[in-house]
């Protein structure tokens, strides 16, 4: 397996497909998944001549199941370890859900005059802040995230099955076509990872205020969100993020769910390609 070691000694698994001299696209996955969640995008873009890279976040997929470091700072640093090892330049960074938070932190810290970051894409992403606070009254109450913690701690296998079969892909909506293979693949990816990483990661994706990260991003940034996202409600995510970005473009997809990269790859992939080529 292809891995890099971070500065704090964590083995991070990654995939690297396509011509080494082509423009790189790096994909950052959501909770509690792995780089496998990007199959539909990686195949599409490698077939369009790009170099595609995706890694498993620490504690997820095939990366080391370490006890600590399950926070946005370490997530961004781990991504940078992969970028440095592969010497990726002029890259487009695309993040989904928690991976969108990872991209925001990564680009804010490493997207300056280094030439490493060309553009960014936040898909169904968690920034600026998911948790309801006095300053963020539109957020979700702590009880929602405590429910995720309880499910992860007490019966992770069933919780992951329920999330995938229900709100993640909108399979709980009336008339929705349910793909059992998609549900099973979500569950498979989740169960490959560490319960500790998944438990700690709930705090990372729900309580990290990324307002300043978004303000610091200067590269062209595409914000994509479905207006029927039951996991990361659009009103508290994309509609706020676009107001904080210096160079942002918002694309809203009517009726699309949180997992639209999988359920609607035929729509999302061409839109991603058009943004990257622009």
**Domains of the chain, first to last:** 3-277 (3.40.50.1820)
User: How distant, in Å, are the alpha carbons of 51, 86, 193, 207 from that of 60?
Assistant: 23, 20, 4, 20
**How many Cβ atoms are within 10 Å of 21's Cβ, its own excluded?**
7
Distance CA(144)–CA(185), nearest Å, equals 24
Q: Annotated catalytic residue: which of 34, 97, 124, 194?
A: 97
d(CA 232, CA 225): 9
Q: What is the pTM of this model?
A: 0.98
In tens digits, the chain (278 residues) has pLDDT values of 899 999 999 999 999 999 999 999 999 999 999 999 999 999 999 999 999 999 999 999 999 999 999 999 999 999 999 999 999 999 999 999 999 999 999 999 988 777 899 999 999 999 999 999 999 998 999 999 999 999 999 999 999 999 999 999 999 999 999 999 999 999 999 999 999 999 999 999 999 999 999 999 999 999 999 999 999 999 999 999 999 999 999 999 999 999 999 999 999 999 999 999 99
Options 55, 74, 198, 258, the catalytic residue: 258
- Residues in Cβ contact with 210 at an 8 Å cutoff, skipping those fewer than 6 apart: 72, 101, 104, 105, 126, 127, 128, 129
Please give the pLDDT value at position 277.
98
pLDDT at 222: 98
49: left (phi over 0), alpha (psi -120 to 50) or beta: left
pLDDT on residue 74:
98
- 35 catalytic? Reply is no
Residue 229 catalytic?
yes
- Give me the pLDDT at residue 112, please: 77
Quote the pLDDT of residue 115. Answer: 84
What distance in Å separates the CA atoms of residue 200 and residue 131, rounded to the nearest whole number? 15
Active-site residue identified among 229, 236, 241, 264: 229
CB 34 within 8 A of CB 56: yes
Q: Cβ(145)–Cβ(131) under 8 Å?
A: yes
The CA distance from 46 to 225, in Å, is 24
Residue owning tokens 């997820």: 60
Annotation says 97 is catalytic:
yes
């Amino acid at each position: 397996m292809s891995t890099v070691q971070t500065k704090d000694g964590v083995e991070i698994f990654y995939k690297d497909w396509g011509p080494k001299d082509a423009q790189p696209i790096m994909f950052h996955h959501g909770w509690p998944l792995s780089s496998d969640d990007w199959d539909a995008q990686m195949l599409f873009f490698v077939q369009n001549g790009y170099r595609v890279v995706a890694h498993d976040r620490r504690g997820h997929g095939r990366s080391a199941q370490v006890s600590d470091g399950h926070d946005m700072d370490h997530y961004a640093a781990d991504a940078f370890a992969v970028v440095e090892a592969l010497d990726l330049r002029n890259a487009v960074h695309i993040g989904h859900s928690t991976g969108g938070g990872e991209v925001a932190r990564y680009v804010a810290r490493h997207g300056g005059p280094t030439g490493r970051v060309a553009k960014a894409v936040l898909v169904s992403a968690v920034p600026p802040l998911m948790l309801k606070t006095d300053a963020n009254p539109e957020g979700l109450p702590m009880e929602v995230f405590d429910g995720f913690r309880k499910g992860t701690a007490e019966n992770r296998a069933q919780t992951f099955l329920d999330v995938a079969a229900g709100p993640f892909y909108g399979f709980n909506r009336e008339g929705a076509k349910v793909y059992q293979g998609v549900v099973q693949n979500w569950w498979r990816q989740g169960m490959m990872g560490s319960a500790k990483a998944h438990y700690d990661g709930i705090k990372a994706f729900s309580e990290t205020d990324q307002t300043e990260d978004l303000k610091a991003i200067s590269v062209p940034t595409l914000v994509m969100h479905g207006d029927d996202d039951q996991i990361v409600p659009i009103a508290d995510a994309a509609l706020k993020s676009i107001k904080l970005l210096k160079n942002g473009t918002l694309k809203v997809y009517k009726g699309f769910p949180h997992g639209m990269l999988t359920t609607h790859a035929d729509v999302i992939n061409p839109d991603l390609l058009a943004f990257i080529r622009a």
